[in-house]
Amino acid sequence: MAHVRRSLLGPALVALCAAFVALCIANGAVQAADTWPLFRGDTLATGIAEGALPEQLEVVWKFKGKEGGFEATAVIDHDSVYVGSLDGNFYAIDRATGAERWKYHTELGFSAAAAVADGRVYVGDADGKFYAFAAADGKLLWGFEASAEINSAPNFYKNLVLFGSQDATLYALDAVSGKLAWKYAIGDQIRCSPTVVEGRAMVAGCDGKLHIIRLEDGQEIGDVVIDSPTGSTPAVRGDQLFFGTEGGTFFAIDWRTAKVSWTAKSERGQSIRSSAAVTPELAIIGARDKRVHAFQVSDGKEAWSFATRSRVDSCPVVVGERVFFGSGDGRLYALDRKTGEKSWYYEAGGQFTASPAVAAGRMVIGNQDGTLYCFGEK
């Protein structure tokens, strides 16, 4: 019977299914298991890995930067890892061996994550320059100058690449040519990455507002006043988006109606610079109160929290039943997704600000001591 069912699919239906999956991947609905092409894994910034990690993790390789640390989160595209460093270099590294493939040097370095699409790598630097490189060999394809430092990782919509800058502007460039399509200015710096959902960009700004911007023409179609500035990237799950603020408030907002659904605050009320990972049940976030918090998506009640020994600016990533993140205490942690109980940790020593990137059975993350770690199974 199984053989009959397979034959009934036919080549046309198989091709249709493949095309549908490819379309979903292009629109952020599905993340291929062997890639982590964006700062939070997909265009919705969910922080959810589609692939798996071995039950027992070990260090597969380490890559040492020249001088500065790694604050930027790595991205992974099939057999390559791309990451910028505070030493001024943007690196392409072999995912299997940790060997350097190519690098590009700037004066001030990189704190923002890159993004990969269609054989091109995009990233902005601390000098306000935004670059497009050929992924294969690092050839500079084009550059674009903003007016201030870029902390925002890129995102994509149709033929556009999007990023924010400390010059308070969201930029939309043609992804192939680098030509400016439009720009939209807000009242203060943009440090978050733009989240893309159904033709809209969600930008949480340092002006104390969430901005909802129409991507076809760059016009704002709504905003929500929040309690304070933020650089946290909004994570979208269904009609809700989630992010924290410098005031220590965690928001759930209905992005269709531009109304606050609920708010939550930790007991100590410390600022939140981490971005959330969101499952159907829980929104999981790090905070400067030295804890990771899990809030129920439905009503904002805290399901669990886990204490580290220092602030948690690293953004959690959910891989199956585990949650991975780094801490300022120099440790990488894995927690049980449902209970928050610790299941694994690794003592690296240097503080972690960057977040994990997970693909093809590997987890890659760098620390402020300038070491990029790749974990998996040797």
Which 3 state secondary structure label does DSSP give 22?
helix
Long-range pairs for 346-352 at CB < 8 Å and ≥24 separation?
Answer: 346/57, 346/59, 346/373, 346/375, 348/373, 350/69, 351/310, 351/327, 352/314, 352/325, 352/326, 352/327, 352/328
pLDDT at 67: 81
Taking the mean position of all CA atoms in its chain, how far away is CA 350?
21
Contact yes or no for 250/268 (Cβ under 8 A): no
In the chain, what are the domain boundaries?
36-376
pLDDT at 268: 78
pLDDT above 50 (res 167):
yes
pLDDT at 2: 33
pLDDT at 162: 98
pLDDT at 149: 98
pLDDT at 31: 54
Identify the burial level of 11 via C-beta atoms within 10 angstroms of its C-beta, where 0-12 means exposed, 13-18 middle and 19 or more buried.
Answer: exposed
Contact yes or no for 134/150 (Cβ under 8 A): no
pLDDT above 50 (res 184):
yes
Identify the burial level of 299 via C-beta atoms within 10 angstroms of its C-beta, where 0-12 means exposed, 13-18 middle and 19 or more buried.
Answer: exposed
pLDDT at 358: 98
Q: Torsions phi, psi of 5, nearest 5?
A: -65, -40
pLDDT tier at 71, thresholds 50, 70, 90 = very high
pLDDT (mean) for 292-307 = 97
pLDDT tier at 33, thresholds 50, 70, 90 = confident
For the stretch 144-153, pLDDT in tens is 999 999 999 9
pLDDT tier at 20, thresholds 50, 70, 90 = very low
In angstroms, the CA 235 to CA 277 distance is: 7
In angstroms, the CA 112 to CA 354 distance is: 9
Question: What one-character DSSP code corresponds to residue 18?
Answer: H
Helices (H), 27-128: none
* Domain 36-376 belongs in CATH node 2.30.30.40: no
pLDDT tier at 75, thresholds 50, 70, 90 = very high
pLDDT at 378: 85
Helix (H) / strand (E) element for 62: namely strand 58-64
Residue showing tokens 């974990």 = 375
pLDDT at 24: 43
Q: Give Cβ neighbours of residue 177 (< 8 Å, ≥ 6 apart).
A: 142
How long is the chain?
A: 378
Percent of all residues in the chain with a pLDDT value above 90, rounded to a whole number: 88
Q: Give Cβ neighbours of residue 12 (< 8 Å, ≥ 6 apart).
A: none
Which pair of tokens denotes residue 239?
Answer: 């009609």
Cα dihedral value 210, 212, 213, 219, nearest 10: -90
Q: Torsions phi, psi of 11, nearest 5?
A: -65, -35
In angstroms, the CA 71 to CA 279 distance is: 25
Relative to beta strand 48-49, strand 317-319 is parallel
Q: Which residues pair with 262 in a beta bridge?
A: 252
Q: Give Cβ neighbours of residue 165 (< 8 Å, ≥ 6 apart).
A: 124, 128, 146, 147, 148, 149, 150, 152, 171, 189, 190
pLDDT (mean) for 120-136 = 98
pLDDT (mean) for 7-17 = 40
pLDDT at 66: 79
Considering the entire predicted model, what is its pTM? 0.91
pLDDT at 359: 97
Q: What rounded mean pLDDT belongs to the chain?
A: 92
pLDDT (mean) for 118-131 = 98
For the stretch 276-299, pLDDT in tens is 999 999 999 999 999 999 999 999
pLDDT tier at 120, thresholds 50, 70, 90 = very high
pLDDT (mean) for 198-219 = 98
